[in-house]
Structures are given as C-alpha cells and as structure tokens.
Amino acid sequence: MKRSKPTNFGTNSSPQLPRKINSRAQLRDLQRAMANALFRPLNPQWGMQKRWIDGSSMEAVASEFIKPNDRLSSFERLEIYNRQYWFRTLDCLYDDYPGLRAVVGERRFMKLATAYLSRYPSNSHTLRDLGNRLEQFLTEEPQWSAPREELALDMVRFEWAQVVAFDGPAKAPVTPDDILDTPAAKLRLGLQPYLSLLELNCAVDDFLIAVKKRESDVLRGEASNAMEAAPKAAVRRKRVRLPKREKVYLAVHRHDNMLYYKRLDPEAFAILSSLGRGSTVEDACVEAVTASERTTIDWSAQLKDWFDAWSSLGWFCRRS
Amino acid sequence: MPANAFNGFTEYGVGIGLRVPHYRHILAKKPVVDWFEIISENFMVDGGRPLEVLDSILEQYRVVQHGVAIYFGSADKFNREHLRRLKRLVKYTNTPWLSDHLCWGSVDGRYTHDLLPMPYTFAVARHTAEKIRAARDYLEVPICVENVSSYAEYHASEMTEWEFLSEVVELADCGILLDVNNIYVSSQNHNFDPYDYLNNVPHHRVGQIHIAGHSKFEKYILDTHDHPVLDPVWKMYAHAIKLAGHTATLLEWDDRIPSFDEVHNEALKANKFRDKQLAATTA
Ligand SMILES: [Fe+2]
C-alpha cells in the first residue's frame, strides 16, 4: 500500500517539525507532536512503543524534536513522559473505578482503561473528570467488557454518579413555605444537580460495598503485615460474587456532604424521574400510581411519606 | 524579596501544602501553621466536602492558591470555564497571590495532566507572557510562575531555562515561584550548574519559594515529592534566600505522605537557614 506523504504530527504520519519555533502555530505543532507521543499506549513491558503509528522508527520520531544527552537518547527522554502520562491516568481510573475493575477483572480493566483513554483522552483540567465518557465508550465498544457488558455499564453509571454526588453543584433546597400556595397541579420541582437517578439491571450497590470491603481487608492485611505473602495472595484471589440480574432503582446523592445511595420503589423512581423531566407534581404522581401494579397500598399516605423524606434530604430545588 | 508586589506585599513564613491525608488531623488538632498552600483545581468544584473543608481551613488559616492546570505555555487559548472557576475561588479564598507553572500541558483541548517543559525561544516567551498578563488582568491577583523540573529538552530551544524564565517574567511583569528542588532536578538531568540558574534570575521578582524531595534513578532524577528535602537542595535554598531575601517558603510533599507533624517539622527546617543567614548578615 502506498503511504501518503507525511504532513504533520496532527495526523498519523511521522512529524516534520520546524527546528525553530517563531510563532504560536509552530508552538502548537510541537505540542501536538509531543502530546500525540504521550497519548500513545505503552508496550506490554510498560515502555514506549518502538514504532510510530505509520510504522516509522519512534527513535527517529523522538529525535526530530527532543535533544539527547550524555545518558539518555531522545527516545528515552520522551519515554519518561510517555510512561508518566499512562501511570498517572491509569492509576487515577484504577482508584476511581474499583467496581468496574471488579466486574471485568484487574488485567482486563487495564486493557479497557488503555483503550478508553486512547479513544477519549482527557478533555478536562481535572482528573476528577477522567471517566466522564466511560459510559459512552462502553456503549460504543462493548467488547472491552464482554461477556459482562450490561453489568459493566450499570457499574460505570453508578460510579460516575458518585463522582457527581461527591462535589457536584447544589442549589438552595425549596422549603415547604416556598411551595405552600402552589397547588400540586401547577407545582413543578427541580432536582438537585448532585442527585442521580439510576435504573439498573444488576444490584451493583451491594456488589460495590462488598468489593470495597474486600479491598480494605486486603489493605489492612498488607498494613498489619500479620501474615506472610501467601495468605495475602489468598485474600486477593477471593473474588466477590458477581451480582445477579435484578431490577434496581437507585438514587445516588449526598447529605451533610457524605455520599449515599438509596434504593427506591419503582413508583418513587418514576415520580422523581418525571419531576426531573419537568412534570407537575400531580402529573408525576398520577402517572406513577396509575402505572403501578401494586394495588394494596394506601397511595396518599405513601406519597406523603416519600415527599417528606425527599424534602428532608434536600433533593428538591427550584427549576432553573 | 520578603514582601513585594508579586506576593501581595505579604511577609509569610514557612507553609505546607494542604493534603487530604492530613485533613482530619488539621481540623481536629488545629496545629499552628503559618500558611497553607492549596491546589486550586482541587477546590474549583461546585460543592460538597472539598468546599466544606476549605471553609474550615479558611476560618483558621492563611491560604495561598497554587495551580497545576492553567498552562500558561500551551499554544491553546485559555479555557474560559477554567479561568471563571479560578476567579470564583480567588475571590473566595482571598489569596494574596496565585501561582502556577511555566509549562504547557494541553493542546487542542486534550489534557496530559503533566507539567511539560517549554521550548525556550523568544516567540514562545512573548506568547507565554501575554497569557500571564491576560490571566492576571482577569483574575485581579498577582501571579508568580514556577519553574518546573524536566527530563527532556527541545532542539528548538535557543536559550537556557533561566534566560527563558527571566524573559517571560520581565515581559509579563509578574513574579517567580522559585522551586529550588526543580532547579536541582533539572540541573542534574540537563548538565548545568544550578547556581548559574539561581544567580541569574531577577531576584526582586521572587514572591515565593518551593522546596521538596526527589528520587534518584540510574540515569535521571525524578521530581517525586515523596521524600524529605535533600542536602544539596537545602544548600541551594540557603543561597536562594541570600539572593532573594526571606521569601515565603513552602514544602511540597505529595506522595507517600507521612504524618502531618513529620511534614511540618521538615518544612520548619527552613527557619534554621533563615536564622543562620540573619546571624551572618548582622554579624
Ligand atoms: Fe513546586
């Protein structure tokens, strides 16, 4: 196959960089070159790949813009940054997504995370947002979590909801006085931006609690150093049983700046979701109760309990 | 200089970085600390626990903001949302000055989350200085730029790092956060004399100093911030305060963080050098 003539580093071809940098455009070319090199995944030995995307020698590519010194070649100097980039970002995902890691297993998690970052490099100034497109990625490329695609997707939505609940924005909650004079047929309530409502197909909440407990047990074992290596490895080997398929409705939120998740009845979930979409309180309740298959419930008492609980948690705010 | 336009005419002493593993200790024990340096990006959030912690810290302590992601040296224009959040935090903390690095880290809206070295050219210095000026005008707070440690140099560079730093801060008329550990690390990685660096930057612009530990590998030194400060760095620190005066000094310890007291005691060693130097100048 005939290779197209290299143009610049913004493409997959090897770079032709100016030796002088006299303009912002030239600075951008250099920065693109370096960033593209850093964003390339490491080889299985955690080193920089020996070949560039177009098959040319990476040593030659690096020496285009990086000076060697008496101890390190251009390749080796660039490799320090390449490794730092991947160690930093993979570490971050490793720490922030223990649930997804437990679902797919440690080794596959690293492959998944590498593929994810290769497709979606960070688009935010903060590592907090590093996983902000994981759900999208797993939807687009389910092969990375096969055969547990559904569970992985549920888990990633759940773990991202926790990031949002931890430090997402809060609005002033509405008080009973604020809404005293508005009839339910006209009342529309906003939901706190830090609150996520999740309809899940697996009980990932219980599963994640078990995973975190196992991880802290392993850590405690390491810290106390009470046992030799073998038992520690045994603790590691013991996997938490995967959750079975069941419908779970979950609210992920914070209260007094602590993170919580709360299971919801399907009707409660339906009401909150409708409110979130802008329905009036009356419409949301009528719709949910009408659709419900449960017939033995005193709905007016139940609805009052729910609204009291949600108000006291501060979930309602004015609609923006 | 101890108090100057670049650190808001303050006379801060020895501070330490506010880090998560110490939150509980600080909030419960309220230790005496001259000031805390906070990483701006950790608090540029919309709500939740980080801001609650910040509130408690601000009630008790003086706080200075240090950023890691403004990227004055990126060819990209500023991320306006980033600046807007930063300004909101500046107003909130009332930081007397603000620092970030003389580096780049993002291009085309993609972030490396690293502090990458600049090519040292006059055109790049002009571009970087313009961005610093624009940031200062928008944020309405004095800015000090910090020299980073680096592991690579570019063919395109046409001057030394200290010449580039000097050029940028003169053009931007801003301050310097002089990181003596970073100078040491880079001097070892790029074979220059760290005292040439120290001697040849505009000392009157130094608004703050960083000290930190690093890790030695076979062929290079990595700026790991996971050790006590090493002897050659303390020596450089002594020289730096001789040149720049008793400038606000901060110990960075970001990885394998020991107890609060251990970090604080390490930082307070800086006072020893100041006292020694004071004795020498008054003798
Ligand atoms: Fe520093």
Q: What is the pLDDT of residues B212-225, one digit of tens each?
A: 888 888 888 888 88
**CA-CA distance, B99 to A89, in Å (whole number)?**
24
* DSSP category for residue B18: -
Question: Chain centroid to CA A253: how far?
Answer: 16
CA distances from B17 to A174, A306, B2, B56, B63 (A): 38, 44, 20, 16, 10
Residues A312 and A175 placed together within one structural domain of the fold: yes
- Are the C-beta atoms of A40 and A75 separated by less than 8 Å? no
What is the token pair recorded at A187? 């009342």
Top-confidence residue, B73 or A216: B73
Using a CB-CB cut-off of 8 Å, the residues of chain B touching A18 are 156
Domain count, chain A: 2
User: Contact at 8 Å (CB) between A243 and A149?
Assistant: no
Contact B144, B207 (CB under 8 A): yes
Question: In this structure, which CATH number among 3.20.20.150, 3.40.1360.10, 3.30.390.30, 3.40.50.720 belongs to the domain B5-282?
Answer: 3.20.20.150
**For chain A, percent of residues with pLDDT exceeding 90:** 78
Query: Over the stretch A129-171, which tens digit does the pLDDT of each residue have?
Result: 999 999 999 999 999 999 999 999 999 999 999 999 999 999 9
Alpha carbons A182 and A280: distance in angstroms, whole number: 11
Q: What domain range is A210 assigned to? A: 165-229+241-317
Tell me whether residue A30 is in a domain. yes
- A55 & A171 share domain: no
Residue A252: pLDDT band (50, 70, 90) is very high
Render pLDDT for B113-151 as a digit per residue (tens, 0 to 9): 999 999 999 999 999 999 999 999 999 999 999 999 999
Structural domain boundaries in chain B: 5-282
Mean pLDDT of chain B: 94
- Three-state DSSP at A261 gives strand
Other C-beta atoms lying within 10 Å of the C-beta of residue A223:
8
Question: Is residue B167 within a helix (H) or strand (E), and if so which, with residue range?
Answer: helix B161-172
Give residue-wise pLDDT tens across range A17-32: 777 899 999 999 999 9
Q: Are residues A109 and A144 in the same domain?
A: yes
> Of the candidates A155, A150, A129, A119, which has an alpha carbon nearest to the alpha carbon of residue A40?
A119
Q: Does B84 touch chain A (CB under 8 A)?
A: no
From chain B, pick out residues whose CB is under 8 angstroms from the CB of A77: 151-153
Q: Is B79 on the interface with A (CB under 8 A)?
A: yes
β-pairing, B110-116 vs A66-67, is: unpaired
- Residues A301, A170, single domain; the answer is yes
**Structural domain contains residue A112:** yes
Q: Strand, helix or coil at B176? A: strand
Mean pLDDT of chain A: 89
Interface test with A, best of B88, B100, B154 (most A CBs within 10 A): B154
Contact with chain A for residue B154, Cβ under 8 A: yes
| d(CA B179, ligand 1 centre) in Å | 5
- Cβ neighbours, 10 Å, residue A99: 24
pLDDT in tens, A35-52: 999 999 999 999 999 999
Calculate mean pLDDT across residues B78-102.
96
Nearest to B118 by CA among B175, B78, B73: B73
pLDDT at residue A305 above 70? Answer: yes
A48 φ, ψ to 5°? Answer: -75, 145
| A296 exposure class (CB count in 10 Å sphere: 0-12, 13-18, 19+) | exposed
